[in-house]
Structure 1
Amino acid sequence: MKRLCLALAVAMSCGLLVQPAEAQKRYDAGASDTEIKVGQTVPFSGPVSAYATIGKTQAAYIRMINDQGGVNGRKINLIQYDDAYSPPKAVEQVRRLVEGDEVLLTFQIIGTPSNAAVQKYLNLKKVPQLFAATGVARFSDPKAFPWTMGFNPSYLTEGRIYAQYILKEHPNAKIGVLYQNDDLGKDYLKGLKAGLGNKAASMVVAEASYEVADPTIDSQILKIKDSGADLFFSATTPKQAAQAIRKIAEIGWHPVHIVDINANSMSATLKPAGLEASKGLISVNYVKDPADTAWANDPGAQRYLAFMAKYYPDGDKNSNLNVYGYITAQLLVHTLKMCGDTLTHENVMQQASHFTNVDLDLLLPGISVNTTPTDYRVNKQFQMIRFDGERWLPFGSVITDGNE
């Protein structure tokens, strides 16, 4: 009996010794007991440098989290490089992040061209391309690219929603489309036409594309106006959207004017274009407007405003670009917290593909983040909005896209 008890005691003590080994922390390159390396490219310069403030907000948010002790006791080391919205530069900088800095993951690479340039490389390396700042469908396709997850609502979905609005409110419209000549613009055009269905051929009377580096889009606007279009869809980024608003006002044209979500920023588009010229614009949204008094007592909005005041006082607290930077960084931190002590490439994607009703401070009521291993779309819900000359006002109900 003594021998049996002794054997059990030895076995139990061995078990206790084994338990910590079974619960060992697991790290891939870029993670340790004290640090999590996250890499990002941002257009701090170049044709869409208006988006630079997104990266600045994200860096400020990470500073706040680190001041609070980090994530599960680890500080986040956010490494940011300028890619100037240039695909070759993005490739160079992302390779530097992966092979030189050895980041655990890339986060919020900004822009469709930059993300497209590095997608195959990151998937080959099995390094997460997390919350890519684009809504092109290929960045939320887990079958083809399991290591890539986009953040932005789908441009295809957004285009379909505009089509639904047009068919309901302007069924006899003659539509002219200005679009960026890349996946961003082409997805919007494709979504619009899909939503119009068999009416697309007769309703879309003009299409004009532009290159990001083009100095102006004046000739495209004149071409669309001369087509007889009375509804103008701007599938663009802020610089060209502002140019279009100004040119349309200058020539005295008064079409129904829709701008995509990438270009509806007050600070980056509407103010440069002129608020009076921007009056009547239609777009979509999925976040709270911190300048709207309706959110004055909202806890999430209050947290955001306190953050901006302390960590990014030079930033425009009312800019939707900074709101975007805040919620994307918040979702990154949520993901890393869920990873616990298993900070591997695989577990990052495992956690990011199992979000259930994740609430972010500045998402509109009724909108939350849900993902599955077969549905990587982080945002699938929209609210239609109209600019009244001072601010964006919501109309209609929240629209959810059920298509995968």
Structure 2
Amino acid sequence: MKIRPAAVATAGLLVLGLAACGNSKSQSTGGSTDSGSASGTFTVSTNGCPADATKELAAGETIKIGTSQPLSGPLASAGLGINGVRAYFERINRAGGINGHKLELVAKDDAFDAARAVSNAQAFTGPEKVFANLMQVGTPAIRATQPIYEAACVPQLWAIATSATLGHDPAGHRWTANVIPPAPVESKAIADYIAQTKPGASVVELVGPEDLAKDFHASFPKAAKDAGLKVLDPQTVPAGATSVETQVAAMVAAKPDAVFLETQPNYCPGFLTALARSGYKGIIAVNSSCNGAGQWISPVDPAGDGLVTPMFRKDPADPRYKDDPAMQEYLKDLEAIGASKNAPVGNVLDGYNHAVLLVQNLKDAAAMKGGLTRANLMTAAWNTKISRPLELEPNNATAGPDDPYLVESGEIVQYSAATKGWTTKSKFAFEGKTNQFK
């Protein structure tokens, strides 16, 4: 990734090379996605697909969308994202649906377990006969279910994994698309921020047992060394651990200038409180899975005061966006389904934002030759052009194998326990080219 300097209003920091693909410059207000048709010409092959993959939905037929989520277990809070999907689906249905097709969400609990995700995928592609799967979470579950969706030619859309390649390979695995930037992008942004704040700093990683943590640990040490940082021995969290007190004590004992949390967000509150009890005064960085202030950080205030993290969308708990028109629309839509209490949760806004994206893909597919088919939906996803005002950079695009990464920019933000919100410290972006992370 090429680096060039750029000035930021709050800090002058290094920024990753700006995205090479042409993001849409069309604008929209609120949750509207009527920002134009798909952006490219890549067509998804239907070789080996069952006949129904290219069969147009009958007039008035419901568009059934499946989602397999951690609705129970330690990550159940993340599963609240289904409320955001439901809120936006209800908004579309109130307006008549998509070309007369109403949206229906079928949510199943996988408890963040790959085996249960497989069972759900078999049901979705079998008796449930979903039109697409939305928002599958985690590398193990996505890898385990990918062959099921591929065999059925059912779009596995806007999956959530920090892998650099999973869901970013339209040529090799055309039925799975990933919605978030990969771990190497966050690793570099965090390393650059630490280096700019304290040149030559020493840093310790807290590495979890999950694939997310492995993705960060595979990329952060190199990014840190390239930024001139000294990487100390990492601390690891054993599988099934419910506390990170021992690991945090060892991190602090190493007297690092900075610490970086590379775990799933359920460890975030304990990590912050343990650091606060130790009196640690260095730079605290956490990965973006922990960037929902109202969900993971504010409940342990003031322990997280001053921490930094990558951010790609507006945080619904951030008072900066209290009067934001798109945020007001989001809040109204959550209220309409009786889910206002969940509105400050970052994962709920994520679900809403992913639903906005899916609806645009469905509209684009409906306008294609052959109409609203699963194959056209997948083609639309790999040629997305959209403006989503709840993203920090609203204009996003994909262009098939030439540029399979949808979100290509973000910010390093700092949390304030006083405001319970964020301050932008720097901005970063990357060129979303295929295979650049291999």
Question: Which TM-score applies when normalising by structure 1?
Answer: 0.86
1:158 aligned onto 2:186: yes
1:352 aligned onto 2:378: no
Alignment counterpart, residue 259 of structure 2, candidates 223, 232, 251: 232
1:307 aligned onto 2:333: yes
1:94 aligned onto 2:121: yes
Question: What is the CA–CA distance in structure 1 between the aligned matches of 2:115 and 2:184, rounded to whole Å?
Answer: 26
289-298 or 256-265, larger mean C-alpha shift: 289-298
Letter of the 1:361 counterpart: P
Give the CA deviation at 1:296. 4.5
Q: 1:1-400 residue pairs with structure 2 within 5 A?
A: 28=54, 31-33=57-59, 34-137=61-164, 138-198=166-226, 203-211=230-238, 213-272=240-299, 274-292=300-318, 294-340=320-366, 342-356=371-385, 358-364=386-392, 366-374=393-401, 375-389=403-417, 390-400=419-429
Q: 1:401 corresponds to which residue?
A: 430
Task: String of CA shifts for 1:225-277, please: whole Å, max 9, x gaps.
Answer: 233323110122221011101111122223310011111212321133x1211
The answer on whether the counterparts of 2:204 and 2:233 sit within 8 Å (CA) in structure 1 is: yes
The answer on whether the counterparts of 1:140 and 1:149 sit within 8 Å (CA) in structure 2 is: yes
Q: Unpaired segments of 5 or more residues in structure 1?
A: 1-25
Question: What is the CA–CA distance in structure 1 between the aligned matches of 2:390 and 2:94, rounded to whole Å?
Answer: 22
Taking a change above 3 Å as real, the CA distance of residues 262 and 140 of structure 1, as seen in their structure-2 partners, is same
| Higher radius of gyration, 1 or 2 | 1
Identity in percent: 25
Question: Which TM-score applies when normalising by structure 2?
Answer: 0.80
Taking a change above 3 Å as real, the CA distance of residues 99 and 394 of structure 1, as seen in their structure-2 partners, is same
Give the CA deviation at 1:72. 1.2
Give the CA deviation at 1:370. 0.8
Task: String of CA shifts for 1:335-368, please: whole Å, max 9, x gaps.
Answer: 1111116232321121111123x1113112x442
Question: What is the CA–CA distance in structure 2 between the aligned matches of 1:120 and 1:210, rounded to whole Å?
Answer: 30
The answer on whether the counterparts of 1:259 and 1:282 sit within 8 Å (CA) in structure 2 is: yes
Matched residue SS, 2:177: strand
Give the CA deviation at 1:64. 2.5
Give the CA deviation at 1:156. 1.6
Letter of the 2:378 counterpart: M
Matched residue SS, 1:139: coil
Question: What is the CA–CA distance in structure 2 between the aligned matches of 1:186 and 1:48, rounded to whole Å?
Answer: 18
Matched residue SS, 2:126: helix
Give the CA deviation at 1:30. 9.5
**Greater share of residues in helix:** 1
Task: String of CA shifts for 1:40-77, please: whole Å, max 9, x gaps.
Answer: 10110012111021112212321222222111110112
User: CA-atom RMSD, angstroms?
Assistant: 2.2
Q: Unpaired segments of 5 or more residues in structure 2?
A: 1-51, 434-438
Taking a change above 3 Å as real, the CA distance of residues 130 and 293 of structure 1, as seen in their structure-2 partners, is same
Q: Which has the higher contact order (CA 8 A, sep 6+)?
A: 2
